[in-house]
A and B are shown apart, each in its own frame.
Chain A
Amino acid sequence: MRGSSDLTTGPLSIGNFVNLIRQTVKQDQLFQNQAIKGEVSQWKQYPSGHTYFTLRDNVGQMSAVIWQGRCSIDSSIKEGSEVVVIASVDLYSKQGRIQLVVDKIEPVNAIGKMEEALRKLKLKLHQEGIFDRPRKQLPLIPKHIAIVTGTGSAALSDMNRLIENRWPGLRRTIIGVLVQGENSVQEIVRGLAVARKLSEPEIASQRNQPPVDVIIIGRGGGSPEDLWSFNLEPVARAIIASKIPVISAVGHESDLLVSDMVADIRASTPSNAIERCVPDYNAIQMQLTDYSERIDSATIRQFSDARSRLKLLTSMLKAAPMAGINNAKIKIQKIAMRLNNSSRSIISQENSRIARLEASLNAVHPQRVLERGYSMIQNDSGEVLSKIKQLSVGQNIKMSFADGEAEANIVNLDKKER
């Protein structure tokens, strides 16, 4: 503890000690932004604008302050009123007094009445089937958005900035209304009526604009009472009456109001309303470009497929007669080969016949006869003499042997008797 460590340097000053308590109290979540119920006593509003009172019940009490302008104070609050405050505990160091600093104060009966009216409205709308009715779809490309919201509000500048980011120059009509306070309900209802009017084609064409095709009704965050107009029946009815989609975008994510429940689309915040209804221009352009390129390339491919098929067919047609000739050539070659083969066998047959003939001819050749020991006798004129009567005594003859010739003279003839 800091206190005990400080003991080493001597006693704490009372101011430091009180501040220590103050720090401790302010750091404890339990003592901050707490809803506390009690009865008002010693109610005193000072000329400075601050209001002091004591919040009490049978068990305890504590002094409380509402700083000037901190919250609206219901005029019905007076001595003895039952109230609920949202307050944080603080320690007023100068007096060492602990007190409640109030952020909101509501008379209990008023809250009760509003809650009761809301419950009844929800039941009524439920019984009418309003919550179950079919909701209208947003157009993919809004051509004219009507925004019903507070003029010059942070919510409006957020929406405008977001629209310019997503779709620069998107057509929109902003209908400025009060979004809180006594007159807000009436203004919101009138604003919605104007937006509905602008969605009628006749009115739109008179104004030389496309009809409004989306209505955004919304405002930024605030206290429940700031947002309460959006819980009231006239606003709900004005939303239900629209023939075009209405986006309700009131307060923060956690606020669920009747306007959210009856609208075609509930956006968590005004910025979310823009995200829901304004597409990203570049993304849409890219999508269209993608379609365009894919259609082009697929079509070109179809045509080039067809062209190459055509080419193939053409070359097949052109090749067709050539193929016939080739076939014929092959046929002829085959025939020629067969002819060749068969003629070769004929030739070889003939060859062997010739060889055989040669062999037998050889066998009877005179030379062979001479080789066997016979000799051949020819006269002077070369006639072969084979009979004795072809000879006469004194005649010259030529005798042929296997290895030479000789000349002889006939000296005697001796005819064989037959």
Chain B
Amino acid sequence: MKKGKTYGEAVTRLEEIVASLERGGKGLDETLQLYEEGAVLLKQCQEDLNSAEGKLNELRLEDIEKEITKD
């Protein structure tokens, strides 16, 4: 995740943002700021989910050892 937030940290912050917005009583500027921060975090989380997808490599020990050591 960009800006050094792990998925877990991003989710924790998202929970804070949701709770804070739902509590209400914020100024419009602050509301907008929280909204934008939330939107950025959600996008990052979504990218994180997408980045977990990849191909399945099934390799024999000897093959992968060769592959790694040749570099």
State the 6 A-B residue pairs at the shortest beta-carbon distance, nearest first. A171-B54, A298-B21, A174-B58, A295-B38, A173-B57, A302-B31
- By secondary structure, the B interface counts as helix
State which size class the interface on B falls in: 35 or more
How far is it, in angstroms, between the C-alpha of A301 and the C-alpha of B57 when the chains are bound? 48
The distance from the CB of B2 to the nearest CB of chain A, in whole angstroms, is 14
Select one of B52, B59, B60 contacting A142, CB under 8 A: B52
CA distance A299 to B34 in the complex (A): 9
User: Which of A171, A191, A291, A302: most chain B Cβ within 10 A?
Assistant: A302
Q: Contacts of A140 on B, CB cut-off 8 Å?
A: 6-8, 11
**How many A-B Cβ pairs are below 8 Å?**
115
Looking at chain A's contact residues, is the secondary structure mostly helix, strand, loop, or mixed?
helix
Determine if B4 is an interface residue (Cβ-Cβ < 8 Å). no
B18: chain A residues at CB < 8 Å are 291, 294-295, 298
Task: Tell me if A298 and B22 are in contact (CB < 8 A).
Answer: yes
Complex interface residues of chain B between 21 and 67 (CB less than 8 A to chain A):
21-22, 24, 26, 28, 31-32, 34-35, 38-39, 42, 45-46, 48-49, 51-61, 64-65, 67
Output the least CB separation between B41 and chain A (Å).
8
Q: A295 near B68 (CB under 8 angstroms)?
A: no
From known contacts A139-B7, A284-B49, A302-B21, infer whether A187 and B61 are also in contact, taking CB-CB under 8 Å. yes
Q: How far is the CA of A295 from the CA of B11 in the complex (A)?
A: 13
> In the docked arrangement, what's the CA distance between A172 and B58, Å?
8
In the complex, the answer to whether A299 meets B31 with C-beta atoms within 8 Å is: yes
Q: Which of chain A's residues have a CB closer than 8 A to the CB of B67?
A: 207
Tell yes or no: A206 within 8 A of B by CB.
yes
| Given known A140-B6, A295-B18, A295-B38, contact A190–B45 (CB-CB < 8 A) | no
A312 within 8 A of B: no
A194 at the interface (CB under 8 A from B): yes
User: Is there an interface contact between B49 and A141, defined as CB atoms closer than 8 Å?
Assistant: yes
Interface positions of A from 157 to 178, Cβ below 8 Å from B: 160, 167, 169-177
Taking CB atoms and an 8 Å cut-off, the chain A residues in 290-313 that contact chain B are 291-292, 294-295, 298-299, 301-303, 305-306
Task: Say yes or no: B65 contacts A305, CB within 8 Å.
Answer: no
**Is B71 in contact with A203, judged by CB distance below 8 angstroms?**
yes
Which residues of the partner chain A approach B71 to less than 8 Å between Cβ atoms?
203, 206
Residues of B bordering A, CB below 8 Å: 6-8, 11, 14-15, 17-18, 21-22, 24, 26, 28, 31-32, 34-35, 38-39, 42, 45-46, 48-49, 51-61, 64-65, 67-68, 71
Taking A173-B64, A291-B18, A303-B28 as known contacts, 18 extra A-B pairs with beta carbons closer than 8 A to each other, sorted by chain A number, are A170-B53, A171-B53, A173-B56, A176-B60, A187-B61, A194-B64, A209-B54, A288-B42, A291-B14, A291-B17, A292-B38, A294-B18, A294-B22, A295-B18, A295-B34, A295-B39, A298-B24, A301-B24
Structural contact, B21 and A171, CB atoms closer than 8 A: no
- Cα separation A151 to B46 with both chains bound (whole Å): 33
Instruction: Name A137-154 residues within 8 Å CB distance of B.
Output: 139-144, 151
Q: In the complex, what residue of chain B is closest to A294 when comparing beta carbons?
A: B18
Chain B residue, CB-CB nearest to A302? B31
Contacts of A175 in B (CB 8 A): 59, 61, 64
Ordered by A's residue number, 15 sampled pairs between the chains whose C-beta atoms are within 8 Å are A141-B52, A143-B52, A173-B56, A175-B64, A203-B71, A288-B45, A292-B42, A295-B21, A295-B35, A298-B22, A299-B21, A299-B31, A299-B34, A302-B28, A302-B31
Q: Tell me the minimal C-beta distance from B71 to chain A in angstroms.
A: 5
Nearest-neighbor residue (CB-CB) of B65 within chain A: A194
**Contact partner, A288, options B46, B51, B65, Cβ 8 Å:** B46
With both chains docked as a complex, state the minimum distance between the C-beta of B64 and any C-beta of chain A, in angstroms.
5
CB neighbours (8 Å) of A299 from chain B are 21, 31-32, 34-35
> Given A190-B65, A203-B71, A306-B28, do A291 and B42 touch, yes or no (CB 8 Å)?
yes
